[in-house]
A and B are shown apart, each in its own frame.
Chain A
Amino acid sequence: MAQVTAVEAQQWLIEKIAHRLGVAPGEVSPEQYFDELDLDSTEALILAGEMENWLGFELGTTTLWYHPTIKDLAAHIAEESGQRAAA
């Protein structure tokens, strides 16, 4: 897959989370912590698997602990994607 930017990753995350929560994307703040969203651990892992499939590379299961907001995770994904594209 081509390199993913932070904006693209953030948009993807917001769309998927909004769909899971049954709310409009505008209601999901990129600053919100994942554990403040109404997603249980099952849904969080399913989302992580779907994201890895979209990205084409694996993210560690502990990634969400260390990048606990949508914005922070999107930035991490962009960095990781950039490193892989450059390699």
Chain B
Amino acid sequence: MPPRRPGPVAALPLRRAAVGGHTVHLVHPGALAPQVHRTLAEALPEGVGLTVLDLSAVPEYGEAALTGGRAETTVEALADWAAGLTSHQFSLVGWSFGGVVAQAMVERLPADRRPERLVLLDSIAPTEEYQQPDEALEPPLLLGWFAMYLGAKRGRPVPLDPAALLGCGVDDGLPLVLDAATASGALLPDTPLPGLRKLYDTYVDGLLRNNRLTAPYRPKSSSVPLVLVKAERSLIPEDPTLGWQPLAPHGLSLAVAPGDHYTMLTRPDAAQAIARLVHPV
């Protein structure tokens, strides 16, 4: 029987620009469905379009999250792929690892095709500070991010005290996530731990894939100003610039959007704040 899964769409228009109008291109790294950016599309001014460039449509990248987290590609190759999908007049946004690819994309475009600036949505810079081996991503950190992700996927927050995860491994930390998720209604009460473990392992493989792509990558400084929009509950709450300052010789503007790393994409109040930065009226 042939595979049933419909392939992800490389360039998914969530709103068409008016004739002669401007299009926002948003580089999306997977984890959530690309339609998650519909809230931002609706918050943009009339006539402005939004097209998601979904990295999951690159087979080497998309399938790596399901097959152990090793992608036979590079940040540069992904950037070239995404650049090939852009139109002439566009603004550029990248969410999470999509911001890393978007920044590489700008620098690989001819100067006359570059956007005026790059908006990064809770994206962690590919600088030495954050280029780390897999072992540096320890279970308490990953379990906290996973709870955040699970809450966003299920439309119900999974409140979990980070202090409870301190010193936990996956085996003793995951039951805490399961308890919190069933208590909040994000998961059914009889959800089995091995089932949640499969979901967790797949989530982590996606993160490791991006971490492994970032580790050997050597970014160029940005030739355009950068705008970083951090989520109120960012992946790295303690770093206001998420490491982008050394790559921003033409300026780094900072803003904060309501929500966490994932819900900042679906909350209307966050979308309004981001829309004003992506396409100032």
Contact = CB atoms under 8 A, between A and B. Distances in A.
Interface of A: 20, 33-35, 40-42, 45-50, 52-53, 60-62, 64-69, 72
Contacts of B63: 62
A73 to B, nearest CB: 10
B4 interface: yes
B198 A68 contact: no
A33 B4 CA distance: 8
Interface in B161-216: 187-188, 191-192, 194-199, 202
B67 A48 contact: no
Nearest to A71: B1
A74 B3 CA distance: 16
Contacts of B191: 46
B154 interface: yes
A21 to B, nearest CB: 11
Nearest to B205: A61
Nearest to A45: B199
B4 A45 contact: no
A53 B192 contact: yes
B150 interface: yes
A46 B67 contact: no
B199 A42 contact: yes
Interface in B1-23: 1, 3-5
Given A46-B198, A52-B198, A66-B3, A60 B150 contact: no
Contacts of B197: 49
A49 B1 contact: no
A48 B34 CA distance: 23
13 contacts: A20-B188, A33-B4, A35-B5, A42-B150, A45-B199, A46-B187, A61-B67, A61-B202, A62-B66, A62-B67, A65-B3, A67-B1, A68-B3
A68 B5 CA distance: 8
A23 to B, nearest CB: 14
A66 B187 CA distance: 27
B5 A60 contact: no
B4 A65 contact: yes
Given A60-B67, A61-B66, A49 B4 contact: no
Interface centre among B66, B192, B195 (most CB of A within 10 A): B195
Given A46-B199, A49-B197, A68 B67 contact: no
Nearest to A22: B188
Given A68-B3, A68-B4, A45 B198 contact: yes
Contact of B1 (A20, A41, A42, A72): A72
Nearest to A36: B4
Contacts of A69: 1
B276 to A, nearest CB: 32
Given A40-B153, A61-B198, 10 more contacts: A20-B188, A34-B4, A41-B153, A46-B196, A46-B198, A50-B194, A60-B66, A65-B4, A66-B1, A72-B1
Contacts of B150: 42
A49 B199 contact: yes
Nearest to B191: A46
Contacts of B194: 49-50, 52-53
